[in-house]
A and B are shown apart, each in its own frame.
Chain A
Amino acid sequence: MDPSMVQQTFKAAPLTTEFFLQGSVMENSLETLVNRLKGLCDNADYQQESFQDHEMVFHIKNTSVPTPLVFRVRHSLVQTECWSLRYLGHAEVGDKNRPTLVRSYIDCPTSENVAQFIGELGFRMDHEFVVKGFYFHKGRMKITVSKFYKMNQPGNTTNDTIETVCPSYLVELSVVTSSGQEAVGDDMKNFAEQLKPLVTLEKTDHRKIQLAQT
């Protein structure tokens, strides 16, 4: 195959749009939820997949506008050679008929020096945290159930120096695809229905949360 063709096909359909729904589950219902997801999802016959990631959030600031551009560096603590650089756009709520939130989403696997590299580009680390949880998939839908941990010593991700931020687990249902594929939203809505009333996955307006917290 012609190398330029390969580059073409890689560039042709960038999967950079994420449709997603969010919710949370309390610790005591986690097992029920995991069992239900095991039954609903494709990887039922395997051992459930769990993950432990270290995420560093980098900001680049600008004199003209105070809101920074945010890049996130994620690093698996289990497979330590896996690093990725992510950009998450602002979530669009859209009109009522749209079943999910939509944001632009770029997840780019990189080599391990990504933190130093974007440091040289002018990014500064804002905060970091550890996230642990489980991962399921059904078709192209991805479901993560994750718990967030605060790091008490900068850069130290060992278990005795981290503590939970909230006893509940964040549940995210998402599909990453090319833009304009609105049809996936209905599938996701149907899937979310099946998790009720255990977890309510819904469109949470991020602007309200950000306003309320800052």
Chain B
Amino acid sequence: MADNRLDTQIEKLTQAIKLTQKLRASVTKVFTDLSDGFQAPKGDEKALLNKLQKSLTAVNDNLGDLEKLAPNIHSTTNIPPLLLNSVGLLGLDPATDKSGITTQLHHTHKWTNKVHKLGDYTAQFLGTNQLKRTNQGPAGQAKRLRRPEPTIHRIPENINIQQLVASVDRAYADMSVSLIRPMGNSTVLQITLAKTLKAVIVLRGLLIEYVSIKAYSEDFLTDDGRPDIWSKSKYQVFNKVTDLVTAGTIHFYHPQLPDASLKSFLIWLNNYKTLFSAPCSKCGKYLQGFLPPIWRDTRSSQPLHDGCRQ
């Protein structure tokens, strides 16, 4: 419908342009004839006048044609903006300088360029680093592919998770780790660290999926005594620690050595037994914003306030 209208419109416009050109041509002819003079034999004024009259009537006809067509052509300003997209509005704005659109467009353009550039850098870095959750062995190592790579979701036969947990449990006297399998295959580690905190770790295979940390005085039960690992701790400090430890799980992630990653995470978690008793290694104080040093450095295990990390 709109297209149809547009087509007829365009047709009329081109016709009008053609007529205008014709008119211009005939007018030009009149003027050139008049200025150049008529190369006609003398005394033949009558013939000259006839010629001029002919040209003028041609001009007159052309003008009449154009005027006949003119009312059929709508003014461009009346064409709905839809037909010209929003760009159409740009041209119609009488005060382009006031709207500041040009500067905004310029900014946008620069910004998009920047994003592209940064995206390139990221792609390069990601291409070289192994931070991928699923391990795709390099194509060249066809020999090793025959033996299935230990993936983090599927526990390989040579790693016994029970033994792993038991060894951690034995190694640290003040950390009791117990393993429960509430729904068959999924694994939940329940950890009590000294008399400081209690933690629940949900594993899929050997991959740490979820960590929740609560106070020693709290438990992972609902009011009516059913297990509930999803609820938050009552205390600010343990909610922050939960967030930080969840971040820690990603730091310790290692696709080739899933057991080592779990073990080193647990060893790191053991540092939290001094949550309340150790001062910040940077500012030397105990409290910052009514919270103890709630971060343990992943390398040095030094206690730090959340605000002293950077």
Q: Do chains A and B touch in the complex (CB under 8 A)?
A: no
